[in-house]
Structure 1
């Protein structure tokens, strides 16, 4: 009995303290666990696959692949709908632009980008996203400051601010003046169109609409071609260019035809003249010329 009471008394004295201690420990563990969960949610937010945007500035793709252009620029985050286009674009091995005051390199980069844009049928916003992604070095740092100030800009605006930064103003003015006075002269339509397209980049205000571009191109054509096209009042640049090529080709074919006829006529006249001419034969009259001299 004594042992039983002693044992019961000892257990009764310990239970309240142990229970309180266990409760405090459980509360502490629960608080720490909750804090850890909050920290994880803060630093690692959930990113559902269907809405997550990939940060291609680190070369990240949907499959976790790494692009060869990793580290090209710290900007931008490419929307999911543009990721497929960007990946196709990178397969074309497009050039990067690192900056510097070199108008030839700057313009060549723009032309190379636009060539690929046409191939992949990129939208205006996609052009800006891809173009800014391929900026590196000084050019990338410039975009990180400039791009955020004009969200939603289109490619035409991108080219304007790009040239303001990397093509000296004196060069832009000279190219603009050259465009204003551009004439076809003795070149082909293809050569004239190439010069027209390149120089028009420096004078966007002169070709702000497709009709303005058509009239400007038409004004620079040779007189022989322009006099055929101008009465047609073609509304688009593509139509003017197409008709100019046709007129030029007709002109070339006509010239070939008349040159061929001229050569044929010249050859016929030469043959006829040779047939009419007879060699002069001096008669020999030995009877009247006793000495036998040839008269």
Structure 2
């Protein structure tokens, strides 16, 4: 009964896995995570969709998103361009280029040891900018 519930819950993924295992030679080495991931992606994620998401990733700009929303969208879409964000410096460069100009300008003059440090600094600077805008509006009003 456990086996039947497992298969029912898994549906198409279970069917794919069983077909994948069946298609391998009996004496094949254990399946690595990389092998599983590549085969699963090639079967379930259409190449055209990946290309569309890569294009969306390259066109991504912060716009009206908060830094956290932008970071989340950047992270989500970067999954479709893994080679372009494999190197931390490249990942930082792409993230920085998508930020609005004023924030980019403030961050460009520094070097950050890693992507997370850049994101943290971006949040702090953007928050300070927002505080200053609120003070400015109060003074003007």
Query: What TM-score, normalized to structure 1?
Result: 0.42
Equivalent residue, structure 2, for 1:164: 42
Can you give the 5+ residue segments of structure 1 that lack an aligned partner in the other structure? 1-65, 74-95, 100-134, 264-295
User: Are 1:153 and 2:66 matched, yes or no?
Assistant: no
Contact 1:183 1:221 in 2 (8 A): yes
RMSD: 2.5
**Which of 38, 63, 67 is the equivalent residue of 1:189?**
67
Give the greater-gyration-radius structure (CA). 1
* DSSP-derived class of the 1:202 partner: coil
Counterpart Cα distance in 2 of 1:199 and 1:159: 17
Equivalent residue, structure 1, for 2:11: 98
More helix by share: 2
* DSSP-derived class of the 1:239 partner: helix
CA separation of 1:174 and 1:232: change in aligned 2, threshold 3 A = same
**What is the number of equivalent residue pairs in this alignment?**
137
| TM-superposition CA deviations, 1:41-86 (whole Å, max 9, x none) | xxxxxxxxxxxxxxxxxxxxxxxxx9x6x3536xxxxxxxxxxxxx
Counterpart Cα distance in 2 of 1:256 and 1:229: 21
User: Are 1:239 and 2:117 matched, yes or no?
Assistant: yes
Equivalent residue, structure 2, for 1:173: 51
Contact 1:97 1:139 in 2 (8 A): no
Residue 157 of structure 1: how far off its partner (Å): 5.6
Residue 244 of structure 1: how far off its partner (Å): 0.7
Residue 194 of structure 1: how far off its partner (Å): 1.5
**Which of 5, 10, 17 is the equivalent residue of 1:140?**
17
Residue 218 of structure 1: how far off its partner (Å): 1.3
User: Are 1:214 and 2:96 matched, yes or no?
Assistant: no
Query: What TM-score, normalized to structure 2?
Result: 0.81
Equivalent residue, structure 1, for 2:134: 256
* DSSP-derived class of the 2:109 partner: helix
Residue 249 of structure 1: how far off its partner (Å): 0.3
| TM-superposition CA deviations, 1:251-272 (whole Å, max 9, x none) | 1101111011111xxxxxxxxx
